Amino acid sequence: MAGTASGPMDIPDSILSAGAAAANAAKHIKKMFAAKPEPTNTYS
C-alpha cells in the first residue's frame, strides 16, 4: 500500500513507500511480459 491509503508520512518515508510501490509494480509487469511467448514467424 502506498500514498495516502497508508496514512500520513514525512518526505523520506513517502519516498521509500513510493519506491517500494514502483518496484512491486515493475515486478508484476516483468512477470506479465515473461508469461507471453514472443510470436514466431513460420513463413520465413
Please state, in angstroms and as integers, the Cα–Cα distance from residue 39 to each residue in 21, 28, 33, 34, following that order: 31, 21, 12, 13
Phi and psi at residue 38, to the nearest 5°: -70, 140
Q: What is the pLDDT of residues 1-41, one digit of tens each?
A: 666 677 888 999 999 999 999 999 999 999 888 876 667 77
Question: In this predicted structure, what is the pLDDT of residue 3?
Answer: 63
Higher model confidence: residue 28 or residue 43?
A: 28
Please state, in angstroms and as integers, the Cα–Cα distance from residue 5 to each residue in 2, 14, 17, 21, 22, following that order: 6, 12, 11, 12, 15
Question: In this predicted structure, what is the pLDDT of residue 4?
Answer: 65
| Closest CA relative to residue 16, chosen from 1, 5, 28, 30 | 1
Question: In this predicted structure, what is the pLDDT of residue 44?
Answer: 57
Question: In this predicted structure, what is the pLDDT of residue 2?
Answer: 63
Question: In this predicted structure, what is the pLDDT of residue 24?
Answer: 95
